[in-house]
C-alpha cells in the first residue's frame, strides 16, 4: 500500500513537470509567432516606405522632365500621377535668385515619403528661359498685326490677344531663323486670322526684366550719359563701353547710327533710317522704361525691350526679338527674328552657367 502511494507521487510530479514544460513551449511558440508577425509587419512597412520613396523620386524625375521640355508652362506648378501602384504629388517653385525647388510626396498603402531637390540657377538663367521659349515677340498686352508685309521667325506670345487686320493673314510666320516650318502663335485670349500654329487659352507668361540701374552706371563710367529729354539728328553714337543712357525721352532722326546699346529712362523714338549694330556679342539693342517707336527704315541687331508699348512700322528689321510689357503693334514691312544670342539682362553681373542638380534631401 505504501509502495503504491510513493509511485503515485512520482507520477504526479512527472505530470506536473510535463505540464510546466508544455506551458513553456506554448508560451515560447506564442512569443515566436508574435515576433514573426511583428517582424513581418516591420518588413512590410519598410517595403512600403521604400516604395513610397521611390514613387516620390519618380515625381521629382517627372517634374524635371517637364521643366526641361517647357519651363514656362511648368514653373511654379503642381502635377499628380499614379506610379507603381501608388501616387505622387510634385510641385515646382522658383525662388528669388533663380533657384528652382522641386518637392514630391509619394504614397502607397498607408506609407508616405517625401523627396526634395533644388536646382541651381540665376536671374539671368531664368530670364533667358522666359524669353528663349519663343524668342521673336513676347508681349504682356495684345500683339497687333495690321498688314501682310511682315516676316516673323520665332514664336509669338501675348498675355492678352493676337489680332489681325488689312490682310495680315498673308504674313509669314516661321518656327526659327533656319526653320521654315509654321511658327507657333500663343495667346491667353483669342488669335486672329493669321498663318502659323495657334494655341488659344494658353497660360499667361512671366516677362523677363532688365536691370536699368546697371546700364546707367556703365554709361556714367565709360559710356555716354545724357540728362533730360533729347532730340538727336544725323547722330552717330559710339560709346566707349557700348552703353548710351538717356535719363528721359530720346528721339533720333535722319540717317543716324549707333554701335552699342541705347537705354532710356523714358520713351525711345527712332525715325528715318536708324541703324544699330552690337558693341559686343549678346548685348541688347534698345531698352526703354516707356514706349518704343520705330518707323521708316531701321535695322537693329539685338533684343529690344519696352516697359510700356512697342510700335514697329515701315521697313524695320529687328534681328533679336521684341519684349513688350504692354502691347506690340506691327505695321507694314517688318522683319522680326529670334535672337542668335541672349542679352545681358544685368551687365554688371557675370553670366553663371546653369548647373545640374546639386543636391536633395529626404524626409
96 and 176 assigned to the same domain: no
What is the average pLDDT score of the chain? 87
Same-domain status, 115 and 138: no
Residues 225 and 164 in one domain: yes
Q: How many domains does the chain have?
A: 2
Residues 101 and 71 in one domain: yes
Q: What is the pLDDT of residue 332?
A: 87
Whether residue 211 is contained in a domain is answered as yes
Report residue 143 as a C-alpha cell: 500683339
Residue 47 lies in a domain: yes
pLDDT on residue 8? 58
Q: Are residues 234 and 110 in the same domain?
A: no
Q: Are residues 105 and 186 in the same domain?
A: no
pLDDT tens series, the chain, 363 aa = 445 555 555 556 667 666 777 767 676 666 666 665 566 667 777 888 889 999 999 999 999 888 877 777 787 899 999 999 999 999 998 887 678 889 999 999 889 999 998 887 777 878 888 888 778 999 999 999 999 899 999 999 999 999 999 889 999 999 988 889 999 999 999 999 999 999 999 999 989 999 999 999 999 999 999 999 999 999 999 999 999 999 999 999 999 999 999 999 999 999 999 999 999 888 999 999 999 999 989 999 999 999 999 999 999 999 999 999 999 999 988 999 998 888 989 998 865 544 444 444 444
Is 96 a member of any domain? yes
pLDDT digits (tens, 9 = 90+) for 225-272: 999 999 999 999 999 999 999 999 999 999 999 999 999 999 999 999
Q: Is 190 a member of any domain? A: yes
Verify that 271 and 322 share a domain, yes or no: yes
Asked if 69 and 176 sit in the same domain, the reply is no
Residue 311: inside a domain, yes or no?
A: yes
Whether 35 is covered by a domain: the verdict is no
pLDDT at 249: 98
57 plus 195 within the same structural domain = no
**pLDDT digit string, tens, across residues 312-333:** 999 999 999 999 999 999 998 8
Q: Are residues 143 and 113 located together in one domain of the fold?
A: no
On whether both 105 and 140 belong to a single domain, the answer is: no
Domain that holds residue 107: 41-119
Q: Is residue 30 part of a domain?
A: no
Within a domain: 269:
yes
pLDDT in tens, 235-244: 999 999 999 9
80 & 214 share domain: no
C-alpha cell at 51: 516604395
Amino acid at each position: 500500500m505504501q509502495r503504491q502511494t510513493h509511485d503515485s507521487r512520482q507520477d504526479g510530479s512527472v505530470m506536473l513537470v510535463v505540464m510546466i514544460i508544455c506551458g513553456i513551449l506554448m508560451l515560447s511558440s506564442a512569443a515566436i509567432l508574435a515576433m514573426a508577425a511583428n517582424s513581418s509587419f516591420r518588413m512590410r512597412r519598410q517595403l512600403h516606405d521604400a516604395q513610397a520613396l521611390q514613387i516620390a523620386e519618380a515625381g521629382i524625375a517627372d517634374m524635371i522632365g517637364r521643366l526641361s521640355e517647357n519651363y514656362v508652362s511648368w514653373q511654379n506648378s503642381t502635377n499628380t500621377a499614379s506610379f507603381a501602384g501608388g501616387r505622387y504629388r510634385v510641385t515646382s517653385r522658383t525662388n528669388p535668385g533663380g533657384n528652382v525647388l522641386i518637392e514630391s510626396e509619394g504614397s502607397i498603402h498607408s506609407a508616405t515619403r517625401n523627396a526634395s531637390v533644388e536646382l541651381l540657377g540665376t536671374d539671368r538663367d531664368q530670364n533667358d528661359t522666359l524669353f528663349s521659349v519663343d524668342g521673336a515677340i513676347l508681349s504682356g498686352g495684345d500683339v497687333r498685326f495690321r498688314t501682310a508685309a511682315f516676316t516673323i521667325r520665332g514664336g509669338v506670345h501675348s498675355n492678352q490677344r493676337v489680332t489681325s487686320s488689312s490682310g495680315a493673314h498673308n504674313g509669314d510666320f516661321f518656327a526659327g531663323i533656319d526653320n521654315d516650318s509654321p511658327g507657333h502663335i500663343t495667346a491667353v485670349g483669342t488669335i486672329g486670322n493669321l498663318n502659323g500654329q495657334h494655341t488659344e487659352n494658353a497660360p499667361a507668361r512671366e516677362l523677363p526684366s532688365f536691370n536699368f540701374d546697371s546700364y546707367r552706371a556703365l554709361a556714367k563710367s565709360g559710356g555716354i550719359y545724357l540728362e533730360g529729354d533729347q532730340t538727336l539728328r544725323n547722330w552717330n553714337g559710339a560709346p566707349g563701353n557700348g552703353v548710351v543712357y538717356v535719363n528721359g525721352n530720346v528721339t533720333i532722326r535722319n540717317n543716324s547710327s549707333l554701335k552699342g546699346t541705347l537705354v532710356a529712362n523714358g520713351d525711345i523714338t527712332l525715325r528715318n533710317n536708324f541703324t544699330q549694330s552690337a558693341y559686343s556679342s549678346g548685348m541688347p539693342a534698345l531698352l526703354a522704361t516707356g514706349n518704343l517707336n520705330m518707323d521708316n527704315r531701321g535695322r537693329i541687331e539685338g533684343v529690344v525691350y519696352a516697359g510700356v508699348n512697342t510700335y514697329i512700322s515701315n521697313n524695320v528689321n529687328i534681328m533679336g526679338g521684341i519684349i513688350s510689357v504692354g502691347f506690340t503693334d506691327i505695321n507694314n514691312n517688318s522683319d522680326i527674328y529670334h535672337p542668335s544670342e541672349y542679352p545681358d539682362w544685368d551687365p554688371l553681373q557675370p553670366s553663371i552657367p546653369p548647373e545640374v542638380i546639386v543636391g536633395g534631401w529626404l524626409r
